[in-house]
Amino acid sequence: MNQWLTTESQEASRIKTETPVMVVLGNPPYSGIIANNGKYIMDLMEAYKKEPGGKIKLQERKHWLNDDYVKFLRLAQHLVAKNKEGVVAYINPHGFLDNPTFRGMRWHLLKTFDKIYTIDLHGNAKKKETAPDGSKDDNVFDIQQGVSINIFVKTNSKTKTKDDLAEVFHYDLYGRRKDKYKFLEETSILDMIAATENSPLGGRGLILLSRKYPTSHPIILWCRRILS
């Protein structure tokens, strides 16, 4: 077992430093407790801990920026940026979409990628979220945190200037769990883009095979379908 872990660690290090990465997808772990805080990732995380523009450090408490899912997103962003093109697709907590503390992170993502697609699945029990009409809003998983499906695309476009931000396409999905599953099974991401196209969310802020959920799960099947 120890030899297997050593080999896996060595291979992961080689990939991080030598192998071009064009696609990163998964359901990263989420934990507000600081973990996975090695120097490599913590150095990368400094980019998220600055105001939009990347020059002034955030002055407020940055606890939630140390969540594991944020680190996994930062690593994926770094790998794709290093390759100059690629796709990151995650399902993760939706707090980074509008929480003010994540504004530097959002700006950094907008600068790196050319197109960003976000589907907010809501269902946040901690916030006691409800649908806009006041009806019940369920989580798609058996957890308290609301989640979102997020796809980040970098195309190595020659037309994008250093001042350009990514195009953002955002869709909100509320309702009962079974209805969300049905919607995701029957609706393509192109349909969602056609229905709701937002301009970049700017300074205020702005998918994904799971280790935790079976590959037959409706969310996982939908993510596979839109990426194929």
Of residues 65 and 16, which shows the higher confidence score? 65
Which is it for the CA torsion 212, 217, 223, 224, positive or negative? positive
pLDDT beyond 60 at 29 = yes
Q: By the 8 A CB rule, do 96 and 48 touch?
A: no
Q: Which two tokens stand for residue 5?
A: 């872990």
In CATH, the number for domain 22-227 is: 3.40.50
pLDDT beyond 60 at 166 = yes
Q: Distance between CA atoms of 228 and 206, rounded to whole angstroms?
A: 26
Q: What pLDDT sits at residue 183?
A: 85
Q: Which two tokens stand for residue 133?
A: 């009409």
Q: What pLDDT sits at residue 1?
A: 63
pTM, full prediction: 0.79
Encode pLDDT of 74-86 as tens digits.
Answer: 999 999 999 999 9
Residue 126: name the closest of 58, 64, 168, 62 by CA. 64
Q: Distance between CA atoms of 68 and 62, rounded to whole angstroms?
A: 13
Exposure string (b/e) for 195-213, b if CB count within 10 Å is 16 or more? Answer: eeeeeebeeebbbbbbeeb
As a whole number, mean pLDDT of residues 44-52 equals 94
- CB count within 10 Å of CB 44 equals 14
Of residues 189 and 56, which shows the higher confidence score? 56
